[in-house]
A and B are shown apart, each in its own frame.
Chain A
């Protein structure tokens, strides 16, 4: 059973920076949503984040593209495809940096989500984040690759100290900084009415988690207004950095009940018993042919039902 989305997305230069080095993409047909925050002198940061977005988009656009690097068994095919795409970005940026002295040392963060059916694969490097809002709870799905996060984890500083730390903008991993990269990957099940937020640190350095949640809940069913609201709050607090937000409101596709299916359902208990019996028979016969037959027939019946509904 698939999902459809209400989407809001916005990027803003902020109040201090001269240029916007963030980039993002919303590819609804691919189920791909990405934010990237570039870093590096001159305009190199902008170049790096743009390369990230373009590379992953074109890589995932063709399912026939070969996988890059080691296949991780614990994740789905889609999770592995996204991982490949990000490894590719890393090499692309690293090599460009090596070739061009003005772009040497450029890099980018990335937070990326790839949705297939109700499986959401997520990957990230750096301090851009992914959150999930389920019900009235906001949950961070990523761990920043930053000095502050590392210090917090080891109990060297408190949350309050972290918010004031001068190392807030020091990250420990970025795409393109080195020849190889460690990428965090995870997979989650999407539930109806889940909300997913992808954002750069221009938002989270300015606006706390509670305020983010409040702004999203206040705008109810309207992700675009919530995005605008979030950017406004970040700018209102100084807008020290570029701000990028993507909000996905996930809605489960409705199961239509067609005439045919209604008939089936009305006698479902009886039918189920029959189907169990036939299932038992199939097992008796064994072999692929019977299971294929069963699968096809089931599908066909459902489709017919939907058409009538």
Chain B
């Protein structure tokens, strides 16, 4: 049988076995568990039995109910959970607790309206078993890319493409500064995606060319591609870097 241990700071005040389908917690007499403290609302929270698990629900208390230091409105209790009500703690003990299996069908009698879920319940709904072992993933690679200025650039330094969007042009906001009569303020934009780098011609009379072909709308960049704009010639390079390296 599940039980609650009522504590104040480190002192155990009372052990309360859960014998009813619903146990109420509050400051006034009619509650099953009465906690006399002004931080506790008259009707503060309740614990309901649902099959072989227990659900804690806050009853719109003024100061809130916290489970393991997280404020919750409603959650499934797990063995060892600490429920904070006002200045008191209720430790939930359920030694017969079954290991959690498929978590996609927990019944938490949801309201029809949109509700926010606390992290703990989220974990329960989205993990298959409690003892789920972290799957061994292939070592993830991050695609890195950069631009090398070959000729005609304002700066001769390589530019690492670390931003989501890297802007080339004559304007102040450009990451790659270009020069030239017909070059636009924003001349081209390189966009970094998980699956690669893509270039878009943005504006200005000077067209952005990749390997001597004008860029129409958007095109993917390949390692070694030559980008020409106005009098500036650049080369795109990319490589894979595994996580953890720097």
Contacts and interface: CB of A to CB of B under 8 A. Distances in A.
Nearest to A79: B164
A46 interface: no
Interface string A147-189: 1001100101100000000110111111001100000001111
Given A191-B200, A279-B231, A76 B165 contact: yes
B11 interface: no
A67 interface: no
Contacts of B60: 101, 104
Nearest to B70: A178
A126 to B, nearest CB: 8
Interface string B77-106: 000000000000000000000000011100
Chain A interface extent, by class: 35 or more
A169 B114 contact: yes
A235 to B, nearest CB: 17
Interface stretch (B22-30, B43-51, B115-123, B139-147): B115-123
A70 interface: no
B189 interface: yes
A201 B113 CA distance: 11
Contacts of B184: 1
Given A174-B116, A189-B218, A77 B173 contact: yes
A177 B104 contact: no
A105 B73 contact: yes
Given A73-B162, A119-B189, A268-B182, A298 B114 contact: no
Contacts of B126: 147, 150-151, 154, 156
Instruction: Please indicate which of the listed interface residues A119, A127, A241, A264 has the most CB atoms of chain B within 10 Å of its own CB.
Output: A119
A267 to B, nearest CB: 12
Instruction: Please indicate which of the listed interface residues B102, B164, B200, B218 has the most CB atoms of chain A within 10 Å of its own CB.
Output: B164
A189 B189 contact: yes
Closest 3 CB pairs of A and B: A1-B203, A187-B164, A276-B231
21 contacts: A1-B184, A1-B202, A39-B113, A73-B162, A73-B163, A75-B163, A75-B164, A101-B60, A104-B60, A118-B189, A127-B114, A151-B126, A170-B114, A170-B117, A187-B164, A255-B203, A268-B182, A268-B205, A272-B230, A275-B231, A298-B180
